Structure 1
Amino acid sequence: MRNKGNRRRPMAEINVVPYIDVMLVLLVIFMVTAPMLTQGVDVELPRVSTEPLPTEDDRENLIVSVTADQEYYLELGEESPQSVPLTEIQTFVRQILENNPGTAVLVRGDQSVPYGRVVELMVMLQQSGVHNVGLVTEPL
């Protein structure tokens, strides 16, 4: 008579090594491609030797960019920037401020843009109801 304890039972374990290999490959792929996914307008900001101001992280910022070609772009939070003519900036900014009254407005002006264009933009923002405008620069 055979002893019932000698029978082989099916193995109920899963080999997870191939899954770990796949996950590591995906991790490397995402680490390499993540920096390429940043969007924005190509603006060469002026460099200054000041400390950045503290910001409140819970507010979205409205960023108005002026490129070297003197084109204007609006960017709100994580949305991709959209090109807007200077004459229509007032309308867009008013709508954004009506929907989100606590929105901070920042101006990113390329260093090659004439100062008059940046001042003209700031006047348009003031006429839109913006009381405080921040200027974005890069540290040295």
Structure 2
Amino acid sequence: MRSTARHRRFKLKSEINVVPYIDVMLVLLIIFMVTAPMINKNVDINLPQANAKSLQDKKEPIIVAVDEKGQLFLTLGDSKRQPIDVETMKTKVGAFVRANPEVSVLVAGDRDGKYDGVYQVLADLQQAGVAKVGLMSAPESGSKK
């Protein structure tokens, strides 16, 4: 009789207590959320060279070139390459595109230059009213890495 009374008082529970597991999971989630943005700040990449066909236009394109120092150069049609500042480039290219909407506008960036220079030119051309912009590249060299 005594053993049955003790058995009733100390009945075993067959449930799993998941509260500690949830706490550990939330702590790990917070740790991963904090450390994930810090893992890859800079990634070195080698962009592939394209073997794309060149565009065949009837008119000479407008070429905006950005050198490695971020300086801009403009080539309008058959004219020579001229150094230019941002505001003058916006004015000239915007007027030229409004006069000839089918003319191609190309951006050439120096291989050793910063991407920010090319990105800024693209934003400036958009502000100037240029709807379509192409990116220039060098033809693929014969050597493969």
Give the deviation of 1:54 after TM superposition: 4.3
Aligned match of 1:86:
86
Aligned match of 1:8:
none
Residue identity over aligned pairs, in percent, reads 29
The higher relative CO (CA closer than 8 Å, separation ≥ 6) is in 1
Please tell me the residue identity of whatever aligns with 1:94. G
| CA distance, structure 1, for counterparts of residue 56 and residue 86 of structure 2 | 28
Q: Aligned pair 1:133/2:119, yes or no?
A: no
SS in 1 for 2:79: coil
Please tell me the residue identity of whatever aligns with 2:109. G
Give the deviation of 1:48 after TM superposition: 3.9
Superposition pairs of residues 1-140 of structure 1, within 5 angstroms: 48-138=48-138, 139-140=140-141
Give the deviation of 1:86 after TM superposition: 1.6
| Unpaired segments ≥5 residues, structure 1 | 1-45
| CA distance, structure 2, for counterparts of residue 48 and residue 77 of structure 1 | 29
Give the deviation of 1:98 after TM superposition: 2.0
Question: Which of the two has higher C-alpha Rg?
Answer: 2
| Greater percentage in strand | 1
CA contact (8 A) 2:107 2:133 kept: yes
- For each residue in 1:18-44, what CA deviation from the matched residue of structure 2 results, as whole angstroms up to 9, or x when unmatched? xxxxxxxxxxxxxxxxxxxxxxxxxxx
| Unpaired segments ≥5 residues, structure 2 | 1-45
Q: Give the root-mean-square deviation of aligned CA atoms.
A: 1.9
CA contact (8 A) 1:47 1:137 kept: no
Please tell me the residue identity of whatever aligns with 1:124. D
| CA distance, structure 2, for counterparts of residue 57 and residue 119 of structure 1 | 24
SS in 1 for 2:59: coil
- With normalisation by structure 2, the TM-score equals 0.59
Give the deviation of 1:73 after TM superposition: 0.8
Deviates more, 1:117-126 or 1:97-106: 97-106
